[in-house]
Structure 1
């Protein structure tokens, strides 16, 4: 069964919808707070104001300045203030101007009844009459053990006209904000989404193999950084693809050459009497061996780069191993391989893989050696490490190429030539083996004077100490 992938909403649509929802929520909140909650907020504020006035009156209950203080509060706040005791006797009664008042006309008995009612309700009572008058009453017991009833009355201004005015204003704001919000949402989302859309289209071309594509960096800083990263990736992919094609061509050439020679000599030996000589047979064997080495190197490089090749560490004599390797180059009569170490150095590493590193570095030096055909090896102790260097006197490598020679598929000279020894894949194998060991490596080269390739590994101190002790004895 084939599943259908639901088409995702674009960033432009999402941003436009987000801005539109934000504008709608803003307008909705304005309607809720300015119209529907205006009256409750206003009444709550008036109640808090009455409470503050009552607390100021309570501070003066036991003092001799109660009447002047109440009068001043009445004049300043516009609230009517009344103070009586539990028996309804009135101590203060100030009505503000000609404002409406319920407490002003209460009899002594009614004031006493109000005291009991407020007391039964927990000592505080609030009520709004006809949406025009707020009555706030509180009973207290003063430090002098006097019981008092404090009543604050304040007028509530009708908000009908205010609400009507706000309604008209909010309708106008709604008609302006919603279209404006949608227009801004579309404009901003288009500005942000356009460079991302362009990058997406360019990325599709890159995925189809068009490595010449370039990504524009217009827009925000993050979009610019993304474009720079993708441009770098496109350049690296283009470079890798070119080197891969070159490697395939070179490997095909290296595979074809021994196969052609094997086939040619085999046909000669079959068709011509007397050509079945040991020399011809040896050529076929040598070419078959070269072909086998090339295939093995390709497999090793593939496994190393895939990370599936494991190393088996052991303590071994690195110096002795190099000497043994150099004896196998005796058949190259025209070449000399000077190597004069001061002592034998032991390391903890994969002996077979490190031998492969030495082989490949020596083979590379042989292939690019100068007219003197000398490949010099040196061993140097640097701190707790040992450095092995392989030097040739060939043409050298340009400075701008030194950083790239370890790259996958890289080849300094574009004109492919058949290696005298090895397969031509050595430096890639060297890099991957030393990376597995955590070792360091590098190259120093000067045009016209040759190159020095080196690698460095930690010394196994324990075995070296034992070796020195045996030498001393």
Structure 2
């Protein structure tokens, strides 16, 4: 277990180095085995197959008119002695490019014996002999005993005229010990050279392959320590380049989140300090000064406390929604009537002109409390950013089984490069906007999270100087008159 753990802790550079070095070592071992250890066996195997292939070629041409010229060409091309005789040992053809070959020493009796042996073995006879194993009067011993080895291969063939002849082939297998010694010296030199070259190459390749990974790892450690301005190298092979690009994106998002977090702390600190100061100040005035305990002063304290409650509620809502600890409670309800009730609560804001246009009541299946939060936040956002005419317009439309609620303001609009950011937590398009300073920047993020939970569509259409239109859609269930 400890060895496995230690192996896992080895750096990728040395793992790659070990793989390249091991591969080279295996190739060299295979080269030694096949070129030295099994060279003699390979050589004999090739020669035996050549003799058998030659015999097959002769059988195909045994009745051809140019049989003798074919045999001569085969003998010269394959370094093989060829003899054709009948069952009595009478030779009808003999071709030998190697003087004093093994079959040249055979007399008719020996040839007749080989013919009989070939017949007994089903028409094909094959043996390997040393030169001393063959005598003019026949075969005394069978099997190689060292020195030059000879192959005897015979085959009985029936010609077109009905007569049977024996095709007898012979070739020699020279000892390869000298060749093996030569190869051994060459392979030793090659092995030394290849080992040195492979180790250097493995070291270079391991560094080249692992360097981008090591650099990314070092940069990731810097990012983990809180240095969000860390830049990851995006060069190198494809996977490393893509990883670097992804980590750079993650670093930018972390930096952006950190900036938003600082903004949130600053906003919350400001928003908490202002109402608390107001509550404390008016409370002290009402305590210390006679006649200041008026309904107006009490209402100010109530309003500021409401602001505090709203701030805390927003922070708690977004935390619960995004952690998934507050599930949906779906039910059928009248969305149109729910919006009317919400807008009645804004009636005290007499200096704002809030209108709602709906030609019928629409029912949906959703979490009524959470959808009301969506409407509240969109209306509050419109009130915060609407223009000097203080107009906020809410419209309900129905199309293709979907009900769309749109909230329009007449404010300054949203720059195109910031439209994708407005749904993020703590984000404010215009931090200098006087009325925007009283919010936390969580409203639209709450809207986004709730609608995502419902699977509803949402979006914004905005043009600078002409205001913005926020909308969301839900499945319509029932239409009523």
Matches within 5 A, 1:361-380: 361-380=378-397
Question: Which residue matches 2:365?
Answer: 348
Change (3 A) 1:419 1:160: closer
8 A Cα contact 1:70 1:92, kept in partner: no
* Helix, strand or coil at the partner of 1:216: coil
Spell out, residue by residue over 1:398-452, the C-alpha distance to the aligned partner (whole angstroms, 9 max, x if none): 2222121111221112248566997652111111111111222222223333222
Return closer, same or farther for 1:163/1:178 CA change in 2, 3 Å cut-off.
Answer: same
SS of the equivalent of 1:375 reads strand
Judged with a 3 Å threshold, the aligned counterparts in structure 2 of structure 1 residues 243 and 364 are, in CA distance, closer, same or farther, namely: same
Q: Work out the CA distance in 2 between the residues paired with 1:346 and 1:15.
A: 64
> When the two structures are aligned, how many residues end up with a matched partner?
460
What are the residue-to-residue correspondences of 1:259-298 with 2, within 5 Å?
259-298=276-315
Q: Distance in 1 between matches of 2:271 and 2:172?
A: 105
Q: Which residue of 2 aligns with 1:38?
A: 39
Which of 99, 115, 136 aligns to 2:152? It is: 136
1:52 counterpart = 2:53 = yes
Q: 1:93 to 1:112 in 2, by over 3 A?
A: same
Deviation at 1:293, TM superposition (A): 2.7
SS of match in other structure, 1:99: coil
Question: What corresponds to 2:352 in structure 1?
Answer: 335
Mapped partners of 2:410, 2:75: distance in 1: 109
Is the aligned partner of 1:407 residue 2:424?
yes
Residue of structure 2 in register with 1:15 after alignment: 16
Q: Does 1:182 align with 2:199?
A: yes
2:241 to 224, 245, 256: 224
Deviations 1:367-414 (A, max 9, x none): 222222111111223433222111112232222221211112211122
Root-mean-square deviation (CA, aligned residues, Å) is 2.8
Q: CA deviation at 1:268?
A: 3.9
Tell me whether 319-328 or 21-30 shows the greater mean CA deviation. Answer: 21-30
Structure-to-structure mapping, 1:227-266, within 5 angstroms: 227-266=244-283
Equivalent residue number for residue 308 of structure 1: 325
Cα–Cα, structure 1 residues 316 and 297, in superposed 2: closer, same or farther, change >3 Å?
same
Q: Per the alignment, in what secondary structure is the counterpart of residue 356 of structure 2? A: coil
Contact 2:414–2:463, Cα closer than 8 Å, also in 1: yes
Q: CA deviation at 1:150?
A: 3.0
Unmatched runs of 5 consecutive residues or more in structure 2? 131-145
TM (normalized to structure 2)?
0.86
Gaps of 5+ in 1: none
1:194 CA drift (Å):
1.8
Q: Does the Cα contact within 8 Å between 1:401 and 1:412 map onto a contact in 2?
A: yes
Residue 403 of structure 1 aligns to a residue in which SS?
A: helix
Matched, 1:29 2:46: no
Tell me if the contact between 1:364 and 1:424 (Cα under 8 Å) persists in the aligned partners. no
* CA displacement at 1:84 relative to structure 2: 4.0
